[in-house]
Every structure is written in structure tokens, then in C-alpha cells.
Structure 1
Amino acid sequence: MTSALDVGDGELAYTEFGTGSPVVWLHGSGPGATGMSNFGANLPAFEDHRNIVVDLPGWGRSPRPATDEPLLFHAAERVCRAMTALGIDRAHLVGNSYGGGVAMRIAMRHPDRVDRLVLMAPGGVLPEDAPPWPVGLEHLFAYMTAEKPAREEMAQFVRLMVYDEALATEALIDERYESSLRAHPELPIPPNFGDLTPDLALIAAPTLLVWGREDQTVPLTWAPAILRGIPDAELRVLPHCRHWVQYERAPEFNHIVREFLQGGAAAAASEG
């Protein structure tokens, strides 16, 4: 069941699942995105954690307050307020795309609140030659500017998110399309997400980057700047996979992330 928290200038919707050390899950910015549409299928593999699955401001059931602040910066502070309201001093953060950028911003500004970071093709760090935009972002922006987008436009967007188009099921397309029709104030296109590049070195948390090799939305070629910028970061690349790593390669994703959260991979490397 989805609940809501007062975060000062509005409410933040979230779903809670499991018990144990806390993990906060942060979704992407695609049309119709919600915390549970991004991560619901992964949660059973993490039932030994206290999972907080957030709808970021302006997506799902969380309203978008009027703000001139960059979206990543604004969302990061509201997630921190939600953590405080839930009695969570410190947590692992798992963020996909836009949500990865939100997670990085939290780690930069509030390092004492972050144990480990898992970032799937995170936003907020653009190459110097962007735009032109990758095809996935072009479709995202086109959908967001459409006065009344058609379901087929959502179907095209979802198919771009996965390497195996059989995973773009009719049920998934319907779910995302219906969610995208909820009224939120419009964003400028491209939105002002904010630039995290100058502060990457401030991220002290051990960080796992997970990327689909065939990602057409946040391409693998954008990964090196983040990998070089975060002091304690490592990269795992999954072949035959696009932007929705946690969905398209769920068993491998769950295994890799569980190992990392339990102190594997980066921790072993730093100890050696």
C-alpha cells in the first residue's frame, strides 16, 4: 500500500516492504514512472531489508511543488526529509537514471546519511557534447511535450528501454501510460535537472555503477566521467541490456546488488 509523508512543501508518496537495514529506492524520470513500476519486481529479493520505495516529486502519487530549483537538488532534499520522518538516519540508496542523480546529490550533500550507493545509468552528469540527445531521451522529451500523448507513443518509449522487446508487455505499457496521464504541472523541455559533475569527488560512499551495454537513453559512453569522478566507484556492464537493468536483467541485478550491499566487491577491493 502506498503511503504519504509531509516533506514541508508537499507530500512524498512511498511504499514500504521488508525489515532490516534500510534501502531507499529512487526511480527514473520517464513518463509514467513510479517507484513500484521501477522496482516492485525486485523487492522480494530484498525482503531482509527495510525497503522504502519512493515516488519522487512530480511522479506517481507525489505532487510537484512549484520550484525554480534544479529537479535533482529539490528531490534530494525531500528524500532526506522523508528519511528523517521515517526515523532513518542512514541508508543504502539505489537509484535508476534520474533517481541515480538524486542519490548522488544526497551523497554529496549529506554523506553521513548514505551507506552505499547503487546507480543504474544515473542522470545528472552530461558529456560536454550533449545535446544531441540519445534516442531514448528524445522520445522521453517528445512524450513530455505532447498535449495528449497516445498509448502507442508510450509503447515506443517502453520498447526503447529494453533490449528484448518481448519484455515490453501490454500490461507494462498500460500501467505506464495510465500513470503518465495523472496531472502534474508541466516541466520545461529539457528539464533543469541540475549538474552534478563538479561535486562527484564529494561522494565518499562506496558506489556500484550498473549499466546496460546497449543503453540508448543514458549511453555507456557517459559512464567514464562518473567512474573517474567518484573516488570509490566500480562499474558492472551487462550485455544484451538497455536502460532498465533492474527489470530486464532482474536475477543478475538482484545478485550483484545484494552482494554489494552486504560488503562485497568494492569493500573487498578497498581492504586489499
Structure 2
Amino acid sequence: MTSTLDVGDARLAYTDAGSGRPIVWLHGSGPGASGMSNFGGNLPAFEDYRNIVIDLPGWGQSPRPETEEPLIFHAAERVCRAMTALGIERAHLVGNSYGGAVAMRIAMRYPERVDRLVLMAPGGVLPADAPPWPIGLERLFAYMAAANPSREAMAEFVRLMVFDESLATEALIDERYESSLRAHPELPIPPNFGDLTPDLGLISASTLLVWGQEDQTVPLTWAPRILEGIPNAVLRVLPNCRHWVQYERAHEFNRIVREFLQGGTPAVPKG
């Protein structure tokens, strides 16, 4: 069940499920994205945790307040306020794409609030030669820029998110399309997400990077800059998988993440 939370200058929609040590789940920025659309299928595997699944400002059921601040920075502050309001001093953070960038920003600014950090193809750190953009980001920005985006444009976007296109079901496309029309973002294209590159070394939390080998949105070639920048990071690459790792490879993703959150190291550390 979705609830809403006042965080001062904004209201955030969120789902609070399970009990135990808290995990805050932070979704990506794709059209039609929301916390539960990204992670609802994963929560049963984490029912022994307290799962806080947030709709970031401007997505899902969370309205976007007026701000000139980079979106990653703005969202990170509101997530921290939400944690405080919910009585959570410290939590594991799990974020994909844009949500991974928000999680990194929190870990940089408020290290005392972060236990372990799981990042699936996170944004916020671009290679020196971007743009041009990968095709997944091209489609994402084109959809955001369209005055009246079509269902077929959504279908093309969703198919790019998965290696096995049979997972891009008609029901999933309909769900994302309808959600996108309710909360179509009014943003400059490309949006001002903000640059986290200079502060990667501030992340002290143990960090797991999970990447789809065939990701066409935040490609695997972008991973080394993050892996080398975060002092205590490991990388797990899943073959035959694109951007939606938690959806396309849910069983393996759940196992890897649970092992990591319980103190394991499921990949070989750099160095």
C-alpha cells in the first residue's frame, strides 16, 4: 500500500513493507518509472528486511517541486528527510540507474546514514566522451521531450531495457505507458542530473556494482570509472542482461544482493 510523506518542501510517495534492518530502494528515471514498478517483484525475497520503496520527486506518485538544483542532489536530500521522518537513522541503499546516483550522493554527503550500497548501472558519472548517448538514453530523452509520447515509443524503450524481449510484455508496456502519462516529466533534455565524479572517493560504504553485460542505456564501458573511484567497491557482471537487472535476472539479483547485504563479497575486489 502506497503512503505519502511530507518532507518539508515536497511530498514523497512510498511503500513500507516487511520488518527488520531497513533497505531503501531507489528507482531509475525512465518514463513511467516508480519505486514499485522497479522493485515490487523483488520485495518478497527481502521480507525479513524493512523495505522502504520511494517514488523519487517527479516520478510515480511524487510531484516534482520547483528547483534549479541538479536532480540527483535534490532527490538525495529529500530521501534523507524521508528516512528521518520514518525513524530510520541508517539503512542499506539499493538503487538502479538514476536511483543509484541518488544513493551515491547520499553516501557521499551522509556516510553515517548508509550501511551497504548496491548500485545497478548507476548514473551520475559520465565518460569524458559523452555525448553521444547510448541508444537507451537517446530513447529515454526522446520520450521525455515528446509533447504526446506514443505507446509504441514506450514499447521501443521497454524492449531496449531487457536482453530477452519476451520480458517486455504487453502488460508491462501498458503499465509503464499509463504511468508515464500521469507523471510526464517537464525537464530540459538532457536533464540536469548533476555530476558525481569528483566525489566518488568520499563513498566509504561497502559497495556492490551490478551490471548487465549488454546494457544499452548505461553501458558496461562506463563502469570502470565508478569502480576505480569508490574505495571499497566490487563489480558483478551478468551476461545476457541489459539495464533492468533486478527485473530481467530477478532470482540471481536477489541472491547476489542478499549475500552482499549479509556481509558477503560476491565478486573479486579490485586491486
Q: TM-score, normalised by structure 1?
A: 0.97
Amino acid at match of 2:83: M
Aligned residues, how many?
Answer: 270
Match in the other structure for 1:240? 240
- The answer to whether the aligner puts 1:85 opposite 2:85 as a matched pair is yes
Q: After the TM superposition, which residues 101-250 of structure 1 pair with which residues of structure 2 at under 5 Å, given as runs?
A: 101-183=101-183, 186-250=186-250
Q: After the TM superposition, which residues 4-83 of structure 1 pair with which residues of structure 2 at under 5 Å, given as runs?
A: 4-83=4-83
Amino acid at match of 1:169: T
Task: Answer whether contact 1:3 1:13 (CA < 8 A) is retained.
Answer: yes
Per the TM alignment, residue 183 of structure 1 is displaced from its structure 2 partner at its CA by 4.1
Which string of whole-angstrom CA distances, capped at 9 and with x for unpartnered residues, describes residues 200-238 of structure 1? 000000000000000000000000000000000000000
Per the TM alignment, residue 92 of structure 1 is displaced from its structure 2 partner at its CA by 0.1
Amino acid at match of 1:79: V
Per the TM alignment, residue 199 of structure 1 is displaced from its structure 2 partner at its CA by 0.1
Task: Answer whether contact 1:233 1:266 (CA < 8 A) is retained.
Answer: no
Amino acid at match of 1:116: R
Give 5+ residue unaligned stretches, structure 2: none
Amino acid at match of 1:163: F
Amino acid at match of 1:155: A
Structure 1 residues 97 and 185: CA distance shift in structure 2, 3 A: closer
Task: Answer whether contact 1:45 1:254 (CA < 8 A) is retained.
Answer: yes
State the distance in 1 between where 2:267 and 2:38 align. Answer: 27
Task: Answer whether contact 1:64 1:184 (CA < 8 A) is retained.
Answer: no
State the distance in 2 between where 1:146 and 1:268 align. Answer: 43
Question: 4+ residue runs of structure 1 moved beyond 3 angstroms?
Answer: 266-270
Amino acid at match of 2:235: L
Task: Answer whether contact 1:211 1:237 (CA < 8 A) is retained.
Answer: yes
Give the match's secondary structure for 2:188.
coil
Give 5+ residue unaligned stretches, structure 1: none
Give the match's secondary structure for 1:9.
coil
Per the TM alignment, residue 182 of structure 1 is displaced from its structure 2 partner at its CA by 1.2
Q: TM-score, normalised by structure 2?
A: 0.98
Amino acid at match of 2:225: A
Amino acid at match of 1:144: M
Amino acid at match of 1:97: S
Task: Answer whether contact 2:26 2:54 (CA < 8 A) is retained.
Answer: yes
State the distance in 2 between where 1:26 and 1:5 align. Answer: 16
State the distance in 2 between where 1:150 and 1:266 align. Answer: 41
Give the match's secondary structure for 1:29.
coil
Per the TM alignment, residue 267 of structure 1 is displaced from its structure 2 partner at its CA by 11
Which string of whole-angstrom CA distances, capped at 9 and with x for unpartnered residues, describes residues 145-164 of structure 1? 11101101000000000000
